[in-house]
């Protein structure tokens, strides 16, 4: 039986990857390692928690001795590394935590994997360390066409009503890193460590950089679940600056499919960008989201636009992210499956149908965090 560790498997993206692997590969043993910090939630995995090929271990990836022990105990063949501190606003307030988790945690995993795998007769044969990162490490792109132009690529998931690019340059796998926030700097450093372990020790590694994810089970500090919940409770919708920042959006289940494809078929030491071919200005996305939620709640469509509240922009807020996933599309045959409007409709339906899940995680500590984040802005 092949044993795979998935770190951060109780979080947003991680839970979707765990679910996919547990259900699709009953012959694999999936070990979910998660510290269960604020965004980790085992309720995300209740539907698979009793599967015979699934094991949950509460552990901190920074605890090297524990990670090495788990590598030996479960005779681990592969690691899919998703555990990370991932919110830019939190990184601005507390960069030390991001450096510890994202850099030292990744290094702890790499060293434990190296020592265990190099102790085996077969060494690295049949082993794989797959590190999931972010497009934010590339920095920011210019918005040379704020009116929007036709992009140079299209997929079956491209929106029929809104398929635009806001510049002529994109993030490619060959781009130099140019991180601007403590979060992206910590992820860039972890990416470099992963590549260094391949170059120095010949560890079979892969790195992917993904765009903004959305979908079920996302902790509501991120834009889409935050706004769905605020519309439901008639609370202000805090929009940074003028809402003109551009992001590429990827439905989380499409990301999980990409991770599956790359883990099994990706080339060792390669980098792959994973994106939705799907640029949106924040304010345009917000208005689509408002209309969708209003329809679902039986409100007059667009009625909740009055809740939009412009707040002081984030320090060092990158203007435009736009990822080119053509390499992944051409080499491994992956592309996103849902048009953005379809994905948003599914996402809104899930959150409104799972209000107990949302209410449970938006009480107590989250309420304190939310009030602190947006007061006086």
- Write down the pLDDT at residue 53: 98
Place of tokens 């403590």: 182
| Of the listed ranges 9-13, 84-88, 155-159, 194-198, the one predicted with least confidence | 155-159
- With contact defined as beta carbons under 8 Å apart, do 213 and 12 qualify? yes
Integer Cα distance of 170 and 273 in angstroms: 11
Tell me the CA end-to-end span of the chain in Å, nearest whole number. 53
Task: Supply the residues annotated as catalytic.
Answer: 135-136, 183
pLDDT one-digit tens code per residue, 164-173: 999 999 999 9
pLDDT one-digit tens code per residue, 75-125: 999 999 999 987 787 888 899 999 999 999 999 999 999 999 999 999 999
Structure tokens of 350? 């899930």
Per-residue confidence at 3, pLDDT binned at 50, 70, 90?
very high
pLDDT one-digit tens code per residue, 8-18: 999 999 999 99
Domains and CATH numbers, the chain: 1-137+177-210 (3.40.50.720), 140-170+215-250+278-311+338-369 (3.90.25.10)
Q: What is the mean pLDDT of the chain?
A: 92
Q: Would you say residue 374 has pLDDT above 70?
A: no
pLDDT one-digit tens code per residue, 258-307: 999 999 999 999 999 999 988 999 999 999 999 999 999 999 999 999 99
Q: Would you say residue 371 has pLDDT above 70?
A: no
> pTM of the full predicted structure?
0.94
- Write down the pLDDT at residue 290: 97
- Write down the pLDDT at residue 366: 44
Report the percentage of the chain scoring pLDDT > 90.
Answer: 80
Place of tokens 């555990």: 83
Per-residue confidence at 39, pLDDT binned at 50, 70, 90?
confident
Q: Would you say residue 369 has pLDDT above 50?
A: no
Integer Cα distance of 47 and 155 in angstroms: 32
Closest to 16 measured CA to CA, from 4, 27, 32, 28 = 32
- Write down the pLDDT at residue 103: 97
Integer Cα distance of 123 and 203 in angstroms: 9
- Write down the pLDDT at residue 365: 53
DSSP string, 107-146: HHHHHHHHHHHHTSTTTTTT-EEEEEEEGGGG-----S-T
Q: Would you say residue 237 has pLDDT above 80?
A: yes
């Amino acid at each position: 039986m092949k044993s795979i560790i998935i770190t951060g498997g109780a979080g947003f993206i991680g839970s979707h990857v765990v679910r996919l692997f547990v259900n699709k590969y009953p012959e694999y043993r999936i070990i979910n390692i998660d510290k269960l910090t604020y965004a980790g939630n085992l309720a995300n995995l209740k539907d698979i928690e009793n599967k015979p090929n699934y094991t949950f271990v509460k552990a901190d990836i920074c605890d090297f001795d524990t990670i090495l022990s788990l590598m030996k105990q479960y005779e681990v063949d592969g690691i899919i590394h998703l555990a990370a501190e991932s919110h830019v606003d939190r990184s601005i307030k507390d960069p030390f935590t991001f450096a510890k988790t994202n850099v030292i945690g990744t290094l702890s995993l790499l060293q434990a994997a190296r020592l265990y795998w190099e102790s085996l007769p077969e060494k690295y044969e049949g082993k794989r360390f797959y590190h999931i990162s972010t497009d934010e490490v590339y920095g920011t792109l210019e918005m040379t066409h704020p009116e929007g132009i036709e992009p140079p690529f299209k997929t079956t998931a491209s929106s029929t009503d809104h398929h635009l690019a806001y510049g002529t340059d994109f993030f490619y796998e060959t781009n130099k890193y140019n991180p601007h926030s403590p979060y992206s700097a910590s992820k860039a450093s972890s990416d470099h460590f992963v590549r260094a372990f391949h170059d120095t020790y010949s560890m079979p590694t892969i790195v992917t950089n993904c765009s903004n994810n959305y979908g079920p089970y996302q902790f509501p500090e991120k834009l889409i679940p935050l706004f769905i919940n605020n519309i439901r409770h008639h609370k202000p919708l805090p929009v940074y600056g003028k809402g003109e920042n551009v992001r590429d959006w990827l439905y989380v289940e499409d990301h999980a499919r990409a991770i599956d494809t790359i883990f099994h078929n990706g080339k060792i030491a390669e980098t792959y960008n994973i994106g939705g071919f799907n640029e949106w200005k924040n304010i345009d996305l917000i208005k689509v989201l408002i209309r969708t939620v209003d329809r679902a709640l039986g409100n007059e469509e667009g009625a909740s636009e009055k809740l939009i509240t412009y707040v002081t922009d984030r320090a060092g807020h990158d203007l435009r992210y736009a990822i080119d996933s053509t390499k992944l599309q051409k080499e491994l045959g992956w592309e996103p499956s849902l048009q953005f409007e379809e994905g948003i409709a599914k996402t809104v339906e899930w959150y409104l149908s799972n209000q107990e899940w949302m209410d449970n995680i938006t009480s107590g500590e989250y309420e304190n965090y939310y009030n602190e984040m947006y007061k006086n802005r």
